[in-house]
Amino acid sequence: MRLALYQPDIPQNAGTLIRLGACLDMGIDIIEPCGFILDDRRLRRSAMDYADHADITRHSSWERFNQDRRGRLVLLTTRAAVPHVDFTFQSNDILLLGQESCGVPDTVHDAADARVLVPMRAGARSLNVAVAAAIVVGEALRQTSLYPIAPAAISA
């Protein structure tokens, strides 16, 4: 399972997602162009030293990512009808996140194999993209039994 960031525009969120991927052993695909320089200090600060432990693949464009990808593309979007808890995740899914500012364009939305949302109370617009990703990643890893197991947890 992988996380894909579509043209991320907030370095702190990208850094947080890189850290999430490193801690949960999920690869990260960054689909460029980004709204910041990838060595931005804000990105480094939020990723901390976890970026060194993350499996990050950069793609020069959406088209390039689409050519290279392996697995089902699952878009996290407020425009979905299926709550993430009602969706059956697969171990080779790619969880696609849009830009904080505007999500993804219709062409990307339409290219997704599935679309899921995090249910929220009426009137709430959206969650921070990193928070939404963490919620969905948790459920996806639970369903697929892909949570990494720390050595201490094995012997307990």
Query: In the CATH scheme, what is the code of domain 2-146?
Result: 3.40.1280.10
* Residue with token string 């709204």: 35
Q: How far apart are CA 114 and CA 76, in angstroms?
A: 9
Peptide bond into 33 cis (omega under 30): yes
pLDDT (0 to 100) of residue 35: 72
pLDDT (0 to 100) of residue 49: 73
Mean per-residue pLDDT over the chain, rounded = 89
Which helix (DSSP H) or strand (DSSP E) does residue 9 occupy?
Answer: none
Q: Where are the domains of the chain?
A: 2-146
Q: How far apart are CA 40 and CA 11, in angstroms?
A: 7
List Cα–Cα distances, 68 to 29, 63, 77, 97, 145, in angstroms: 10, 9, 22, 17, 25
Tokens of 28: 């990260």
pLDDT (0 to 100) of residue 41: 62
Largest Cα span, the chain: 48
* Residue with token string 């992988």: 2
pLDDT (0 to 100) of residue 44: 59
pLDDT (0 to 100) of residue 153: 55
pLDDT (0 to 100) of residue 75: 98
pLDDT (0 to 100) of residue 104: 97
Q: How far apart are CA 137 and CA 84, in angstroms?
A: 10
pLDDT digits (tens, 9 = 90+) for 74-100: 999 999 999 999 999 999 999 999 998
pLDDT (0 to 100) of residue 150: 67
* Residue with token string 């009602």: 86
Instruction: Pick out the chain residues at pLDDT < 50.
Output: none
